[in-house]
Amino acid sequence: MKLAFLGLGVMGYPMAGHLRRAGHDVTVYNRNAAKAAKWVEEYGGASAPTPAAAARDQDIVFCCVGRDSDLRAVTLGKDGAFAALKKGALFVDHTTASATIARELSAAATAAGFEFVDAPVSGGSAGAVNGKLTIMCGGTEAAYARAEPVMAAYAKQQKLLGPSGAGQVTKMVNQICIAGIVQGMAEGFSFARASGLDIESVVEVISKGAAQSWQMENRYKTMMANEYDFGFAVEWMRKDLGIVMDEARRNGASVPITALIDQFYAEVEGMGGKRWDTSSLFVRQEAARKKS
């Protein structure tokens, strides 16, 4: 198929690569043209100077950028992709963004004669590199049916959750749960240290029971080693939790623990941890314990 991919960040770069390795004709766009040139050198395909140039005449355009403002710029802004997409095309957005902009872009796509799927991902950079992402989708059944076999190049699981915006809301649920689990681990491990227990032994036992989680299996060793250069950065988690709280104000949901953990992440940023991964809540927890 003729595809474009907009945004070659830590997630988009390998995702676009998987599409190319699957045999598709892929054109990429990135704000930093040097990174797009590097991608072309590694994978082949082509690069374009603007989102519109990348999107022109493509069957499906994929996108993975940072925030709502970035997404609006590459779709509706000057030289944006939506003005160039042909009728009958499909736009698939992997950005973790608000449900509001997903619905806005879906309506704009429908008015212009093409389809839109909001499809945020979970699995981190390792999932993107290994082609093992979980993809949460919102849109029509017909649009999802077109996207699903192509996204399979980098997905271990994907599902249509409902109409436009449903993928983004599901990603919000994902982030709420992750934040709570990581804070629970930070409190539990700090409590264990205060009690003089051996963390390795504690995890060996509790990870075989109801406390088991992906975060415990994959992050406890780096937490104990005080290493936080893995996975999802604190500044991006705060962006996502901000989206959650905005949506909660809109839909009336109560998210007090999420709001509190966002404050804890703000403290981590104040400790110099803006780019630390999300398990760095343990740093804050230990600092609070040592003060008491």
Mean pLDDT over 267-275 rounds to 97
Instruction: Give DSSP secondary structure letters for 185-242.
Output: HHHHHHHHHHTT--HHHHHHHHTTTTT--HHHHHHHHHHHTT---SSSBHHHHHHHHH
Mean pLDDT over 220-233 rounds to 92
- State residue 291's pLDDT score: 87
Out of 2, 171, 208, 239, which one is annotated catalytic?
Answer: 171
Reply yes or no on whether 239 is catalytic. Answer: no
Question: Considering the chain, what percentage of its residues have pLDDT values greater than 90?
Answer: 96
Per-residue pLDDT for 235 more than 90? yes
Per-residue pLDDT for 292 more than 90? no
- State residue 260's pLDDT score: 98
Which pLDDT tens digit goes with each residue over 13-63? Answer: 999 999 999 999 999 999 999 999 999 999 999 999 999 999 999 999 999
- State residue 241's pLDDT score: 98
Least confident of 146-155, 218-227, 264-273: 218-227
d(CA 60, CA 149) in angstroms, rounded, equals 12
Name all domains of the chain by residue range, CATH numbers in brackets: 2-163 (3.40.50.720), 169-291 (1.10.1040.10)
